Amino acid sequence: MIGNLKSNIILFISFVVMQIVMAGLTDFGPLYYLSVYPLFLITMPVDTHINKLLVWAFLTGLTIDYFSNYIMGINSAASVMMVAMQPRIFRLIYRKGDLENQIRPGMKEMGFSRFTYYMISCLAVFHITFSLAESFGMMHFVYNLPRTLVSLTANSILILIIEYGMFYKRSR
């Protein structure tokens, strides 16, 4: 339990620093929102209680909002919504018997296609919620749709590269 908490804290700090540094170094204007920290939330262990996941999501989003000088609460709202939908998305991909030896939903454990489907579904919830929260409703969603699609595509590719480089390649 303590070892799991330590590794989560180390991953939390790593992803927050990575998010802040990458967002500070890249500026694509209003077309693209860089978000690599959802990988930390997507790959939390399956047996983690939903309340703990929601707290991690809220704290992660709030930390990103604070250090990125962004509108407070937008990343938190998107992260919490993504984590709230995560068990449903996971159940769509896996049957009940497949979960017994599942520890961490990652590329190594799930396979490339299942992980990609799971990750893109979670990121779609994240980016749609982020776009709705940023535009304060559905009124400007049509204008934000290209940004949502570009951000979803680019972040999916970036997260697949990070997942492969950090977790999958090391275990092979």
- Encoded tokens for 19: 């998010």
Helices in the chain by DSSP H: which ranges? 2-25, 38-42, 50-67, 74-93, 107-110, 112-134, 141-163, 169-171
The length of the chain, given as a count of residues? 172
Give φ, ψ of 11 to 5 degrees.
-65, -40
pLDDT digits (tens, 9 = 90+) for 42-84: 888 877 888 999 999 999 999 988 888 777 888 899 999 999 9
The reported pLDDT for the residue numbered 126 is 92
pLDDT at residue 117, as a whole number? 92
The more confident residue out of 94 and 63 is: 63
pTM: 0.85
User: What pLDDT digit, counting tens, does each position of 126-164 carry?
Assistant: 988 888 887 776 666 677 788 888 888 888 998 898 888
> Tokens for 33?
């929102």
Q: Confirm if 16 and 67 have CB atoms less than 8 A apart.
A: yes
CA-to-CA distance for 20 and 76, rounded, in angstroms? 15
Average pLDDT over residues 4-25: 81
Say how far apart CA 170 and CA 5 lie, in whole Å: 21
Q: What percent of the chain is predicted at pLDDT more than 90?
A: 17
Question: Would you state the pLDDT for residue 76?
Answer: 92
